[in-house]
Each structure stands twice: as C-alpha cells, then as structure tokens.
Amino acid sequence: MTFEKFSSEIKTLEKFFPIYCNDKHTGQFSKHYKIFYQENEINFDISLCKECHNLLHYAITRLQECPNDPKPRCRKCPNSCYDKDKYKQMAKMMRYSGMKLGVTKAAQRLKKIFKKN
Ligand SMILES: [Zn+2]
C-alpha cells in the first residue's frame, strides 16, 4: 500500500480509538507513537488505557505488515492476518466509534440547518 494510504489508515485509528476508550474504559495515559513505513515516519501522541494501547500497537503492526496492494477492508480480506480475539475487539471498537462519529456529524449538519432558519 502507498504511504498515503497507510497514513490515512493510521489517522483513522488515531481518531477512532480514543472515542471508544474514553467511553468504555478508565486509566488512560498518553503514549508517543513513532511509526516507520516506506522510509517515512509518522509521529503522534495518544491517550488510551493499557488494553487499547496494546490493541492499537497490534493494529499498527498488522498494517505495517499487510502484504495486500491495494489493501482491502480488513473485513473483506480473504486471508485476514488478525487473531480472532483481536479482530473482534477491533470490530467492536470501529463499530462503536464509527457510529458515534456518524451521529456527531449528523448532529452538526442538523445544527447548521437549524441555524439558517
Ligand atoms: Zn481503552
């Protein structure tokens, strides 16, 4: 996968993880991530609980080692590289945060509409 694709996948994780973790878990702490991909470097800080840091770290490693080009959605991958348990955790997290983000976006749209009138 291209670096652009890789970095947008990372951005999605960076956005989705805290939403889920802040709602469901306690004991968050900030950690710095330095990720290398195709001679590029991505840096970010993120505050999560220990369990989510582990899962995020795992997800990043899987992503770095993804042999598919172009990368399909993990859900549609014919030979998913995830552990069953980790996959379930990821799916739950993505579903929850995706829905919440969707709801927030819809609410923002509604607000705009109502402001006009
Ligand atoms: Zn968490």
Q: What is the model's pTM?
A: 0.85
**Taking 80 as the threshold, does the pLDDT of residue 70 lie above it?**
no
Asked if 27 and 53 count as a contact pair (C-beta separation under 8 A), the reply is no
| Residue matched to tokens 């369990």 | 51
Instruction: Quickly state the pLDDT bin for 55 (edges 50, 70, 90).
Output: very high
Structural domains of the chain, count: 1
The maximal CA–CA distance of the chain, rounded, in angstroms, is 51
Residue from 75, 98, 114 nearest 12 by CA: 98
Distance 10 CA to ligand 1 centre (A): 17
Residues with CB under 5 A from ligand 1 (ion): 21, 25, 49, 52
Beta-bridge partners for 31: 46
For residue range 80-110, list pLDDT tens digits in order. 788 899 999 999 999 999 999 988 888 888 8
Q: Find the 17 Cα to ligand 1 centroid distance in Å.
A: 8
How many whole angstroms from 53 Cα to the centroid of ligand 1?
7
pLDDT at 117: 57
Q: Which structural domain range is residue 82 located in?
A: 3-116
Q: From the CA of 27, how far away is ligand 1's center (Å)?
A: 8
Q: CA nearest 89: which of 28, 34, 17?
A: 17
Average pLDDT over residues 18-47: 97
CA of 103 to the centre of ligand 1 (A): 21
- Quick one: CA dihedral 113, 115, 116, 117, positive or negative? positive
Instruction: Give residue 13 CA to ligand 1 midpoint distance, Å.
Output: 13
